[in-house]
Amino acid sequence: MTAASGHGILRDEPGTRHCLLGNLAIVRGALEAGVQFFSCYPGTPASEVGDTIARIAAEADIVFEYSVNEKVAVEIAFAASLTGARSMCGMKHLGLNYACDPVSTMPYVGVEGGMVIVSAGDPSAITSPNEQDQRHFSRFLYYPVFDPATPEDCRRMTCYAFELSERTRLPVILRPTTRVCHGSGIVAFGALPVERNAIRFRKDPARYVPIPVNARRMRKELTGRFALAGRLLETSGFFPRTGRGELGILASGVACAYAAQAIDDLGVGDRVTLQQVGAYPIPDKVLADFFDAVTSVLVVEELTPFVEEWACLSAFQQCRQIPIYGKRSGHLPVEFEYTPDLVEDAVADFVGLVRRPSATVTVPELPARPPVLCPGCPHRASFYLARKVFGTKTIYCNDIGCYTLGYGEPLHACDVLLCMGSSISQASGIARLTGQRTVAYIGDSTFFHSGLPALANAVQANDNVVVVILDNYIAAMTGHQPSLTTPGGGAAAPGPRPHEGDAEQDDRTARFSIEDAVRGLGVTDVYSVDPFDDESTLAAFRQARKGTGVSVVVCHSPCVVEERRHRKDARPIAYAIDQGLCDSCTACVRVLGCPGILVSDGQYLIDPELCDGCALCAEVCHQGAIARAVSQKEASA
Amino acid sequence: MTGARYKQRGGQPGHGGFRIVIAGTGGQGVLTAARLLCEYFAARGHQVVSGQLHGMAQRGGSVQSTVMIDAGISPVIPRGRADVVVGFEPVETVRALPLMSLETVVLMNTSPVVPYVIAQAAVRGNGEVEYPAVEGLVECVRGVTERVFAFDGTGIAQECGSGRTLNVIMLGCLLGSGLLPCAADDFWRTATRGMPKHLLETNARAFTSGVESGRRFAFGPAG
* CB < 8 Å to B12, chain A: none
Among residues 104-133 of chain A, which lie with CB inside 8 Å of chain B?
126-127
Contact call for residues A169 and A143 (beta carbons, < 8 A): no
With CA atoms as reference, report the closest residue to B115 among B136, B91, B86: B91
Q: Does A410 touch chain B (CB under 8 A)?
A: yes
Enclosing H/E stretch for B68: strand B62-69
The residue range of the domain holding A586 is: 575-636
Domain end marker among A351, A370, A387: A351
Determine, yes or no, domain membership for A361: no
Look at residue B222 and tell me whether its pLDDT is greater than 50.
no
Beta-carbon-side half-sphere exposure of residue A91 (alpha carbons within 13 Å): 29
A460 with A396, same domain? yes
Using alpha carbons, select from A60, A86, A117 the residue that is nearest to residue A198: A86
Q: Is residue A258 part of a domain?
A: yes
- What pLDDT was estimated at residue A93? 98
Based on the domain organization, do A140 and A11 belong to the same domain? yes
Contact B177, B148 (CB under 8 A): no
Please tell me whether residues A101 and A221 are part of one structural domain.
yes
Whether residue A364 lies inside any domain: the answer is: no
Per-residue model confidence (pLDDT) at position A633: 56
The enclosing domain of A38 has a CATH number of 3.40.50.970
CATH class of B3-213: alpha beta
> What's the pLDDT at B116?
87
- The pLDDT assigned to B4 comes to 38
Whether residues A225 and A259 share a domain: the answer is no
For chain B, positions 129-168, list CB contacts with chain A under 8 A: 129-132, 136, 140, 143-144, 163
> Is B21 exposed, middle or buried, given 0-12, 13-18 or 19+ CB atoms closer than 10 A?
buried
What DSSP element (H or E) covers B187? Answer: helix B184-191
**Inside any domain, residue A373:** no
- Comparing CA positions, the residue from A233, A245, A235 lying closest to residue A298 is A245
In chain A, the number of structural domains is 4
Query: Other C-beta atoms within 10 Å of A133: how many?
Result: 18
CA angle A74, A78, A81 (to 5 degrees): 145
Residue A629, domain CATH: 3.30.70.20
CA distance A554 to A470: 6
| pLDDT digits 0-9 by tens, B116-128 | 889 988 888 765 6
> DSSP code of A396?
E
Residues A251, A382: one domain?
no
Residue A194, CB half-sphere, CA atoms under 13 Å: how many? 0
Q: Are residues A85 and A229 in the same domain?
A: yes
Given a cut of 90, whether residue A496 has pLDDT beyond it is no
> Cβ(A406)–Cβ(A414) under 8 Å?
yes
Question: Which 345-404 residues of chain A touch chain B by CB within 8 A?
Answer: 356, 358-359, 361, 363-364, 366-374, 402
Mean pLDDT for A544-556 is 97
Based on the fold, state whether residues A26 and A108 are members of the same structural domain. Answer: yes
Nearest alpha carbon to residue A146 among A117, A116, A174, A107: A174
- Ordered strands of the A17-21 beta sheet: A17-21, A183-188, B48-53, B62-69, B18-25, B84-87, B105-109, B148-151
pLDDT at B13: 36
Q: What integer is the mean pLDDT of A389-404?
A: 97
Residue A372 falls inside a structural domain: no
Residue A359 lies in a domain: no
Query: What phi, psi does A510 have (nearest 5°)?
Result: -65, -30
A66, A493 contact by CB (below 8 A): yes
Q: What is the pLDDT of residues A61-104, one digit of tens each?
A: 999 999 999 999 999 999 999 999 999 999 999 999 999 999 99
Please tell me the predicted confidence (pLDDT) of residue B12.
36
Q: CATH number of the domain at A314, please.
A: 3.40.50.920
The more confidently predicted of residues B15 and A500 is: B15
Which member of A179, A341, A368 has the closest CB to residue B79? A341
Q: Find residues 518-547 of chain A whose CB sits inside 8 Å of chain B.
A: none
Q: Do A277 and A308 share a domain, yes or no?
A: yes
Mutate to test the interface with A, among B41, B44, B116 (most CBs of A within 10 A): B116
Contact (Cβ atoms closer than 8 angstroms) between residue A448 and residue A484: yes
Length of chain B: 223
Whether the Cβ atoms of residue B30 and residue B23 lie closer than 8 Å to each other: yes
Going by pLDDT thresholds of 50, 70 and 90, the confidence category of residue A489 is low
Rounded average pLDDT over A149-162: 98
Evaluate the omega torsion of the peptide bond into residue A305 and state whether it is cis, within 30 degrees of 0.
Answer: no
Q: Tell me the DSSP string of A516-550.
A: HHHHHTT--EEEEE-TTSHHHHHHHHHHHHH--S-
Using CA atoms, how far apart are residues B124 and A172, in angstroms rounded to an integer? Answer: 52
Q: Which residue has the higher pLDDT, A480 or B12?
A: A480
CB B60 within 8 A of CB B25: yes
Domain spans in chain B, listed from the N-terminal domain onward: 3-213
Residues A147 and A279 in one domain: no
Residue type present at position A142: Y
Q: What angle do CA A614, A615, A616 make, to 5 degrees?
A: 95
Q: How many CB atoms lie within 10 A of CB B95?
A: 18
Residue A580: CB atoms within 10 Å: 7
Q: Please indicate, yes or no, whether residues A338 and A399 belong to a single structural domain of this protein.
A: no
Average pLDDT over residues A478-498: 67
User: Of A1, A7, A92, A261, which to mutate for an interface test with B (greatest number of B Cβ within 10 Å)?
Assistant: A261
Q: Which residue has the higher pLDDT, A222 or A494?
A: A222
pLDDT of residue B124: 85
CA distance A98 to chain B (A): 22
Would you tell me which residues 35-94 of chain B have a C-beta closer than 8 angstroms to some C-beta of chain A?
35, 38-39, 41-42, 45, 47-56, 58-62, 72-81, 91, 94
> In whole angstroms, what is the distance from residue A269 CA to residue A544 CA?
69
Give a three-class secondary structure readout of B207-223: HHHHHHHHHHCCCCCCC
Q: Is residue A310 part of a domain?
A: yes
Torsion angle of C-alpha atoms A323, A324, A325, A328, degrees rounded to 10: -120
Same domain, A449 and A384: yes
Q: Any idea what DSSP says for residue A144?
A: -
pLDDT digits (tens, 9 = 90+) for A176-192: 999 999 999 999 999 99
Min distance A324 CA to chain B CA atoms (Å): 25
Sheet strands (E) in A287-417 = 296-300, 324-325, 396-397
Whole-angstrom distance, CA of residue A597 vs CA of residue A406: 17
Q: What pLDDT is attached to residue A118?
A: 98
- Asked whether the beta carbons of residue A366 and residue B94 sit closer than 8 angstroms, the reply is yes
**Angle, CA A436 vertex, CA A433 and CA A440 arms, to 5°:** 95
Identify the three-state secondary structure at position A298.
strand
Mean pLDDT of B102-107: 95
Mark residue A141 as left, alpha or beta (left: phi above 0; alpha: psi -120 to 50; beta: remaining): alpha
Of the residues A213, A234, A255, the one at which a domain ends: A234
Interface confidence (ipTM) of the complex: 0.91
Residue B27: is its pLDDT beyond 90? no
Residue A56 shares a structural domain with residue A95? yes
Is residue A78 included in any domain, yes or no?
yes
Give SS3 for A334.
coil
Query: Are the beta carbons of B20 and B67 closer than 8 angstroms?
Result: yes
CA dihedral A546, A549, A550, A555 (to 10 degrees): 0
Please give the Cα distance from A67 to A85 (Å, whole number). 18
- CA distances (Å), origin A98, targets A10, A72, A73: 32, 10, 11
- The predicted model gives A385-403 an average pLDDT of 97
